[in-house]
């Protein structure tokens, strides 16, 4: 499970000090990268020119070279061939995870639930290898 403080300054639907909680099923690997917002805007992140906005949560399709670029992945299970690459930009670092699925944690303290955020269904058409950053995953109803 990933628990994080939401950015109430950038996303006004949240209140300061609230947490978001996401659960990843069949996690194969994950990493916390050092790139912060200054690094992203300065082009230091390998997704800086591909992701539309800082501070969002994305599904990454294709771009195996981009997935393999960092060497600090924490391996949880061997690759299944069914894992999806999820990417989240925090204020002070970057979180990535390869897992089968990402779900909202049903904890009543989850600010994502309170604000009506949804994770859209991901169809096979969303995973075209020619598309690196496919879409934002967190969005309002």
Residues present in the chain in total? 141
Q: Is residue 119 part of a domain?
A: no
pLDDT at residue 71 tops 90: no
Q: Is residue 132 part of a domain?
A: yes
Structure tokens belonging to residue 104:
């909202």
Q: Say if 114 falls within a structural domain.
A: no
Domain range for 79 is: 23-105+126-140
- Contact in structure between 24 and 96 (CB atoms under 8 Å): no
* Rg value, the chain, Cα: 15
Flag whether 48 is in a domain. yes
pLDDT band per the 50, 70, 90 thresholds, residue 33: confident
Q: Flag whether pLDDT at 68 surpasses 60.
A: yes
- Count the domains in the chain: 1
pLDDT tens for 90-136 read 778 889 899 998 888 889 999 988 888 777 666 555 555 544 454 55
């Amino acid at each position: 499970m990933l628990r994080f403080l939401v950015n109430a300054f950038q996303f006004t639907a949240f209140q300061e000090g609230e947490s978001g909680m996401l659960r990843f099923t069949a996690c194969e690997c994950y990493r916390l990268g050092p790139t912060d917002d200054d690094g992203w805007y300065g082009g230091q992140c390998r997704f800086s020119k591909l992701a539309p906005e800082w501070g969002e949560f994305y599904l990454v399709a294709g771009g195996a070279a981009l997935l393999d670029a960092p060497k600090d992945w924490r391996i949880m299970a061997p690759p299944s061939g069914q894992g999806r690459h999820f990417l989240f930009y925090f204020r002070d670092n970057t979180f990535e995870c390869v897992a089968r699925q990402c779900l909202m944690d049903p904890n009543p303290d989850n600010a994502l639930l309170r604000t009506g955020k949804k994770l859209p269904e991901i169809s096979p058409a969303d995973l075209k290898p020619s598309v690196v950053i496919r879409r934002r995953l967190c969005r309002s109803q």
